[in-house]
Amino acid sequence: MGKAMNGKVYSVQGVELRSIELDDDVFGLPVNDDVIWYAITNELANKRQGNACTKDRGEVHGSNAKPYKQKGTGRARRGDKKSPVLVGGGVVFGPKPRDFSYSIPKKMKRLAMKTILSLKAQSDTLKIVEDFTVESGKTKDLAGILKNLAKEERTVIILKDNDPRLKRAGANIPWLHFLSYNRLRAHDLFYGRQILMLETAAKNLSEFYGSAGEAE
């Protein structure tokens, strides 16, 4: 672990409990707008289905016959009724199914996550909370905890592991999102108005994205 900075740990009642050391290489970096933009744009592109499809004049259903003779009518020269200039005809240069996904360098993605974590830590929108779960899996039990920790606005909880009970309890809360410490998403993290990070997740992030993790 590199240089360390201190963060406050809160109880599920919203009371400050203790301090925790956070890796400065993960939570104390200067904001890099460029890598954040690249990471978010990459995630949005990779989510695109690319299903849009139009038919050109060769694919539209209809006759290939010329509707009237070429000369002598006084009208414009006309091919078949599938012409793109006619209603119901083909589409010129319309979209076809395609893959929008692409890759960006792993180091860039890691830097983007660390930059966003640093941004949230420095803007006081990141709060570290003692490890907790919701054994009942009930939304009302989780809502009682969140009442002490967050307002009803876009909130992200960073988990130390995959906690199905906690995720089940939060499934009916529309403004709540869950991320695992080792599977962060730049878009959700950046646009989260509040970030609640479990204490063990904070320690794991310092190891996963810190200088030791970079060496692996």
Is residue 197 exposed (0-12), middle (13-18) or buried (19+ Cβ within 10 Å)? buried
pLDDT-derived band of residue 131, with 50, 70 and 90 as boundaries? Answer: very high
Quick check: 70 pLDDT over 60?
A: yes
> How are beta strands 4-10 and 16-23 bridged, if at all?
antiparallel
**For residues 149 and 10, is the Cβ–Cβ distance under 8 A?**
yes
The Cα–Cα gap between 45 and 49 comes to: 9
- H helices within 51-104, ranges in order? none
Which residue shows structure tokens 């890598």? Answer: 35
First CA to last CA distance, the chain: 13
Q: What percent of the chain is predicted at pLDDT more than 90?
A: 80
How confident is the prediction for the chain on average, in pLDDT? 91
pLDDT of residue 129: 95
Q: In order of start, what are the domains of the chain with their CATH numbers?
A: 4-45+104-215 (3.40.1370.10), 54-94 (no CATH)
pLDDT of residue 130: 94
**For residues 1 and 118, is the Cβ–Cβ distance under 8 A?**
no
Joined tokens for residue 77: 């020269």
**For residues 80 and 66, is the Cβ–Cβ distance under 8 A?**
yes
* Nearest C-alpha neighbor of 135 from the set 108, 160, 163: 163
Q: What is the mean pLDDT of residues 69-85?
A: 93
Lowest pLDDT segment from 120-124, 166-170, 206-210: 206-210
The Cα–Cα gap between 43 and 28 comes to: 24
Question: Model's pTM, two decimal places?
Answer: 0.82
Quick check: 116 pLDDT over 80?
A: yes
pLDDT tens for each residue of 134-171: 999 999 999 999 999 988 999 999 999 888 999 999 99
pLDDT of residue 7: 86
Quick check: 216 pLDDT over 70?
A: no
Quick check: 1 pLDDT over 60?
A: no
Rg of the chain on CA atoms, in Å: 27
The Cα–Cα gap between 145 and 140 comes to: 9
Q: What is the mean pLDDT of residues 57-71?
A: 93
Q: Which residues contact 2 (CB under 8 A, 6 or more apart)?
A: 23, 24, 25, 210, 211
Helices (H) and strands (E) in the chain, counts: 8, 6
